[in-house]
Amino acid sequence: MSERRTPRWNRVVLKVSGEAFAGVDGYGIDGEIVGGIAQEVVDVRAEFEVDVAVVVGGGNIWRGMSGAGAGMDRAQADYMGMLATTINALALQDTLEQLGQPTRVQTAIHMEQIAEPYIRRRAIRHLEKGRVVIFAGGTGNPFFTTDTAAALRAVEIEAGVVLKGTHSGTDGIYTADPRKDPDATRLEEVTHLDVIQKGLRAMDATAVTLCMDNDLPIVMFDLMAPGNVRSILAGESIGTLVA
């Protein structure tokens, strides 16, 4: 077996939205899509000396904001969203393990029959042993997004970057919505402050602020394009770097 390469960052947190799991249907779990994401993780683990953690969203099953908009208590709706992220985490875990990649799912709310509770030191130890750790349940608190959970977990486990995968055809941060404005141009690099002050479409402001306060870069890129994670770790300019 050939020696693995040194990546741009030695430990990464990959943020995968729930909607990405749904494919073209917009809801539920598309096994082919999940298989593609899992294969991408397996490939970069095989090529690079890199620790990979994944934070999953749950929007393909339930969105707390939608429930709140329909009159449901916001906290209750958000807890339902945390359960949705766990369903996605278990689907990704099963797919990764079918590909031979050892994994652990850790949840921010306790459900010990199916996953470990989130424990920072245990998560780091799993990564050191070559396991992919999938974080589910968001932060465990209502009113916070899974983007914020990705930033928080990345800071906690001392990751070098948050890789924010998109799924809607956009491949980074643009000056305007490229689906509506043909003159919109992709920005190769912006600062955290630019994202916050200019309201650029990236992660939510809480997540970006947390990354800024901890000097944690974000790469926003098209997750659906095969090989993009590998290219980013190889040092290529893919998507938009927020630093």
Q: What is the CATH number of the domain that holds 209?
A: 3.40.1160.10
33 is a domain residue: yes
For residue 36, being part of any structural domain is answered with yes
Q: Is residue 225 part of a domain?
A: yes
pLDDT per residue as tens digits for the range 136-149: 999 999 999 999 99
If we measure between CA atoms, which residue out of 171, 160, 174, 165 comes closest to residue 217? 160
- Indicate whether 87 belongs to any domain: yes
CA atoms within 13 A on the CB side of 195: 28
The residues, any chain, with a CB within 8 Å of residue 119's CB and separated by 6 or more, are 106
pLDDT of residue 125: 98
Structural domains counted in the chain: 1
Q: Is 108 contained in some domain?
A: yes
Q: Is residue 4 part of a domain?
A: no
Give the domain extent around 219.
Answer: 11-242
The whole-number pLDDT of residue 2 equals 63
pTM: 0.95
The arithmetic mean of pLDDT across residues 83-104, rounded, is 98
**Is 149 within the bounds of a domain?**
yes
Q: Is residue 3 part of a domain?
A: no
